[in-house]
Amino acid sequence: MANRQDGAELAGLTARAIDRLGAGDFYDRLLDMLGSAAPHDLAALVRYSRSAPPDLILPRVVPTAAMLAYYQHFYAFDPFYTHWKGGGETGVFRLRAMEAGIGRSRYAREFLTAMAIHDEIAVFLPPIGEASPTLILDRARGSFTAGELARVRRLFPLLAALHRRHLSIFVTAGIDHGSSPIGQERPLRLVDQHGLTVFATEAWGAIARDGESGLPEAAAIVAARGPCAVRLAGQRMLRRTQLPADFGPAPGGFCDEVTPEPAPKGAVGLPPVLADQLTEREQQVVLLTLQGYPVIEIARKLGLSRGTVKNYRLAIYRKLDITTERELFGEYMAAIRKQGLAGLLPDPT
């Protein structure tokens, strides 16, 4: 009887999602479908990008202090962000299984606690350009079970198919939406194989009309080269990525998107007041250390010997006048506060 009730509930939620295809609240309905698969405390839609920090799209709430801290700095320690930035695939992933060392990491100890998150399930949907709209379920206490994870995985093909259909309907409806298909105010346009614009956000139009943005010239460059990135004024980049061959409105076309210029390699997550004291390699070692990786794993990831990593850590400790990993995290927290986030972060002590 329970299975029949669950099936009836899912059928009803699916019908509501289908009814909202192409509408602004479609992903709210998709989250309702996902939420029916496992008890949870919060459902969210996050945009994970290969070249920019994550964006919280849903729920539409005033961000808490811990959320602000995450989206300004600590996203760099998020295993889901690391997964997608590193070229990860779409599909269903569980936080506690993403990293063997998640329980040891400062990300887990400090920020998941501050945000009242014990475990998460992330559903990475097919990307728009280089970014995946990702459905998230959070649980404040206890972990998601293998059975719950299996139910979400069985649901994934349906969620992905509805998502693709939503994109097709939304884009085909025209240029007057004002925002992207996931409700984000980001400069974005989609063009077909012949270079004709099939969709553009109002934010794209605003930048295109700005005579000092350099967007028209950059757009001409990416149109000639194909997938690439071109620097714009104001520390921004225009990025062109290929659309899938089965993308309905523009099969095999392109997604052009304006994003913030990325931080220098290895510096993501380190405030300038701290990064300026360290070499690029030392910054990489710091970030991996704060994520909870042991020396042997840091060595593997960076292609170094264990002895070399130990020498880097000694050099870092000497430059910062500290002796332990805990003190390293304290230096990181202090650097963030100096950058203007005082009062937003939990006390490291």
Write the CATH number of the domain with boundaries 22-172. Answer: 3.30.450.40
User: Per DSSP, which regions of the chain are E strands?
Assistant: 42-49, 55-58, 91-94, 119-124, 131-139, 188-191, 197-200, 228-232, 236-242, 254-260
Q: Three-state SS for 337? A: helix
Stretch 112-122: mean pLDDT, rounded? 85
**Residue 191: other Cβ atoms inside 10 A:** 21
What average pLDDT does the chain have? 86
- Residue 267: pLDDT band with limits 50, 70, 90: very low
Closest CA to 31 of 55, 60, 53, 54: 60
The residues facing 197 across adjacent strands are 191
Domain residue ranges in the chain: 22-172, 188-260, 272-341
pLDDT score for 346: 47
pLDDT score for 305: 93
Helix and strand counts by DSSP (H, E) for the chain: 15, 10
**Residue 19: other Cβ atoms inside 10 A:** 10
pLDDT score for 343: 47
Write the CA distances from 325 to 20, 104, 272, 287, 339, integer angstroms: 49, 12, 20, 11, 21
* pLDDT tens digits for range 312-326: 999 999 999 999 888
Stretch 261-277: mean pLDDT, rounded? 70
Q: Is the pLDDT of residue 131 over 80?
A: yes
Q: Per residue, what are the HEC states of 1-24?
A: CHHHHHHHHHHHHHHHHHHCCCCC
User: Per DSSP, which regions of 69-219 are E strands?
Assistant: 91-94, 119-124, 131-139, 188-191, 197-200
Lowest mean pLDDT among 101-115, 274-288, 327-341: 101-115
Q: Do domains 22-172 and 272-341 have the same CATH topology?
A: no
Write the CATH number of the domain with boundaries 272-341. Answer: 1.10.10.10
Lowest mean pLDDT among 133-147, 204-218, 256-270, 306-320: 256-270
The residues facing 128 across adjacent strands are 131
Q: What is the rounded CA–CA span in Å between residue 67 and residue 56?
A: 9
What lies within 8 Å, CB to CB, of 119 at 6+ separation is 94, 95, 96, 138, 139, 142, 143, 144
pTM value? 0.82
The residues facing 48 across adjacent strands are 132
pLDDT score for 76: 78
